[in-house]
Amino acid sequence: MIHRARSMTSLGSKKSSRRPGANLILNSVPPELWLKVFTHIPLYLLPAVTLTCRSFHALSQPLLFSTISTHPPALPSLALRGAQNSKYRQRILERLEFFFSPRICPSVVECTISPPAPEEDGAPADDLIDTIFTSLSRLPNLKVLNCRYVRLTPKRLAVLQNLQLTAISLEMCFGEIADFADAPSVPLQAVTIKYPDAIRRDKVNPCLLFLSPTHLEQLHATTTSILPTLARSQPFRKLQTLDIPIECITSDLFIQALSRCPAVDHLSLHTSESVPHSLLESLPEGVLPNLTSYRGPHHYAAVFLRNRDAKRVEISVPSRPHRLEASLPSIDRSLLSLSFRLEGVELPASLLTTIHASFPKLKSLAVGEPALSSADINGALNASPRHVSLEDITIHIQGRDKFNLWIPPDEAAADAISCFKKTLPALLTTYPGLKSVRFLHGSQGASVRWRRSSSGLFVQSAA
């Protein structure tokens, strides 16, 4: 690709139409260095680079396709039948021809295979998807594969065994029992498995095939069906991040599965509904000995981080202030980072007082909800004792968007700056060691950050 770009000139085909400035730059800087520069340019700016000259186009255009999707989105209002299906199929073939062309394929790092509808039971395998799987070997730098509603046939599994993947995501991808019988596990570092717990008996969850005890470092799953696989497997000695549904905590296999993951340092228990009740009060001796980080409901934070070094706790479910206040003291006092969201409209000073007393080494505090006015912030801080160790604080502030008005981004940021000026004295009085302040504003997650300079003044910086 570099040699081809070197031989190209500007957009014009004649010498009289070439751009001498562009050629001068290309002659003074080798194309391989330009390619290195382009890799640091944000993706949304790359299209402008491709229009500069033909050489830049040849170098930078492939970088636009580091992430590809083999199937174009289908119109949800139209059923793909007859002529429409043929036209859609032709669009897929055209995409494949481009993505797997010699000039583009070296840049592809992540590929998504997501047909518009699940492959039906009993139907012959889609030859087009077979073609896609066969062609994956032509992507030399492919590291991440995402599959959705794809049947895992022996032919496709054989392809995956020979790819140099580091991560895979499987959503509703099933196969036959015989297909997984003797297949070795695929050596992957990160695996995401998206399946419901209610699976028909004739469908097989292929998680066993993709969980390699000697390679797996991150596991994200939405189903409790991974517990039997973990519990009966060899120890996963490299697995550091375990993200599983909260329902796993009520399973008889939960502790046994955790005991197979001695290297896990971050546990995430995600939930979208009510939090189940469990009699588990603490982890048995020797289970998750390296755990230092927890994300999930506040109910179980102390279960996993009692009497052990705690670095980070993220309470993922909005909590009632008095219940969060009651549960926090049970977490080990070594905690360094805490983030949470509250139900209601205020941040009680008693909650801050409990946090300051319970975690004397706390370095980072984030309050994602509720949105607070400058008066709310000052009131809570002025009624709380000092905490000398805190260095970073994040607060969601209340702006004019509370009236359901659309506020231009510049004006919303100006509101955050005004709030910062009003609250900085109280912040520094309560947290004299503060080095960074971040204010969230609006409903889109926008933020403004200030960092303390060597002179002691706070300077606005990129969020």
Residue 380: inside a domain: yes
Q: What is the mean pLDDT of each run of 10 residues along the chain (463 residues)?
A: 42 43 51 55 57 54 78 59 69 88 88 79 67 92 93 87 93 71 80 79 66 93 90 94 93 94 95 77 90 94 89 94 94 95 93 96 95 94 96 90 68 87 96 95 84 92 71
Q: Of 64, 90, 107, which marks where a domain is finished?
A: 64
Euclidean distance between CA atoms 316 and 294, whole angstroms = 10
135 domain-assigned: no
Residue 7 is predicted with a pLDDT of 46
pLDDT attached to residue 198: 67
What pLDDT does 441 receive?
86
How many angstroms separate the CA atoms of 223 and 196, rounded? 6
Q: pTM value?
A: 0.81
pLDDT at 229: 87
CATH number of the domain encompassing residue 426:
3.80.10
Count up the domains in the chain and report the number.
2
**Tokens 């309560």 belong to residue:** 430
Domain termination residue (choose one: 41, 64, 87): 64
Quote the pLDDT of residue 204: 59
pLDDT at 183: 67
Q: Is residue 174 part of a domain?
A: no
94 inside domain = no
Provide the pLDDT for residue 333. Answer: 93
What pLDDT does 8 receive?
A: 43
pLDDT score recorded for residue 306: 86
In a domain, 399, yes or no: yes
In a domain, 225, yes or no: no
Strands 446-452 and 67-69: unpaired
> Which among 43, 64, 85 is the end of a domain?
64
381 assigned to some structural domain: yes
pLDDT value at position 276?
78
Task: List the domain range (segments joined by +) for residue 378.
Answer: 292-463
Identify whether 238 is part of a domain: no
